[in-house]
Amino acid sequence: MEQINTTADASDFLWYSTSINVKGDEPYLNGSQTNLLVNSLGHVLQVYINGKIVGSASDSAPISFQKPITLVPGRNKIDLLSATVGLSNSRAFFDLVGAGITGPVKLSGPNGALDLSSADWTYQVGLRKDLHLYDPSEASPEWVSANAYPVNQSLIWYKTKFTAPAGDDPVAIDFTGLGKGEAWVNGQSIGRYWPTNLAPQSGCVNSCNYRGSYSESKCLKKCGQPSQTLYHVPRSFLQPGSNDLILFEQFGGDPSKISFVTRQTASVCAHVSEAYPVQIDSWISSQQKAQRPGPALHLECPTAGQAISSIKFASFGTPSGTCGSYSHGKCSSSQALAVVQEICIGVSSCSVPVSSNYFGDPCIGVTKSLVVEAACS
């Protein structure tokens, strides 16, 4: 059964369940073991036999799960949990891609196989209490307080209290140590985390050039690392004193390893070319084209009450690099630093015209850019 149409976007999860009776002499058995094959369109598959997880698999492409399992004499229950992780909204026929377990599902052994695809299956959209939080003002018997909480257990909820980091700096949670799930702070979802999903080990490049035809393997970075471990917690979600953190862990992990971190903005940077179009609110009629303002570079301190205290770097010409590591090119105006300092020092935000009228023309006939790195305090 295709998952997206079945769940109607009401949940990420869909259970597929069936049961079989085992006598012990079935041709698909090798003693008490058999090999289970499950084919799925993705994205995440977890397999439970008689209530215990036996394995999982994940991929954005079709999944083929194969693993030996142990069956017991009598009734054996097979539960397959399929989960989606974001849905494609581009490329041709993206709406026909589908997700979930479409089969076949087979048990196989040295003397034969049993195709369960046409067996009687039951389906359940979502997990029990799927993504619905308890009212923090109500005492619920579902929560169990313990000094030693279970770790590395799938499909488990965790709840704790914390005090928000002091100050006004941006706050994030580092989910290193957990598997895959979703987190809430004071009832507000901060998103789904998946730090165990690692990028491929190979294919990364030191230099990057996006020019030319598109390829998903172009400009790969962070090979062998998770795509994300830090998840932003807006300060508006936090309250003085005690705050609630609730985790739903799907794969299993150790919540004691997560941590809160703050980030301070050391610099604000901008890079604008004189060939850039001007802001749309400054567009005027073609009859006034000669008086039309050119592009401008804008800087603004990220925190209220701050002002630009210094200009760490300024170059008008052909600079290169990224924020924190800019360098002058072969063409560079000697007036750039003084001009930017005059306009921006001491204010919370500033706008600098990107024009040779302000900086002189260090290389006639060459398209120039203005790059600035500033510090706020």
Q: Which tens digit of pLDDT belongs to each residue from 228-241?
A: 999 999 999 999 99
| 173 and 285 assigned to the same domain | no
pLDDT for position 89: 62
Start-to-end CA distance of the chain, whole Å, equals: 58
Alpha helices (runs of H) in 58-200, residue ranges in sequence order:
none
Residue 365 has what DSSP assignment? Answer: T
- The pLDDT score that the predictor gives to residue 94 is 65
**pTM as predicted:** 0.69
Q: What's the CATH number where 369 sits?
A: 2.60.120.740
How many domains is the chain built from?
A: 3
**Does 232 lie in the same domain as 200?**
yes
Per-residue pLDDT at 35: 96
pLDDT at 74 (0 to 100): 95
241 and 257 in a single domain? The answer is yes
State whether 34 and 66 are in the same domain.
yes
User: Is the bond leading into 271 cis (omega within 30 degrees of zero)?
Assistant: no
Q: 186 lies in a domain?
A: yes
**pLDDT confidence tier of residue 285, bands split at 50, 70 and 90:** low
121, 189: one domain: no
Q: What is the residue-wise DSSP string for 43-71?
A: EEEEEEETTEEEEEEEESS-EEEEEEEE-
Average pLDDT over the chain, rounded to an integer: 87
Do 223 and 160 sit in the same domain of this protein?
A: yes
8 and 120 together in one domain: yes
Residue closest to 178 by CA, chosen among 132, 245, 130: 245
Quote the domain boundaries for residue 319.
Answer: 268-376
d(C-alpha 101, C-alpha 81), whole Å? 9
pLDDT at position 195 is 93
- Looking at the structure, tell me whether residues 41 and 73 fall in a common domain: yes
Domain identity same for 92 and 183: no
What token pair was written down for 368? 């120039």
- CATH number reported for the structural domain that contains residue 196 in this entry: 2.60.120.260
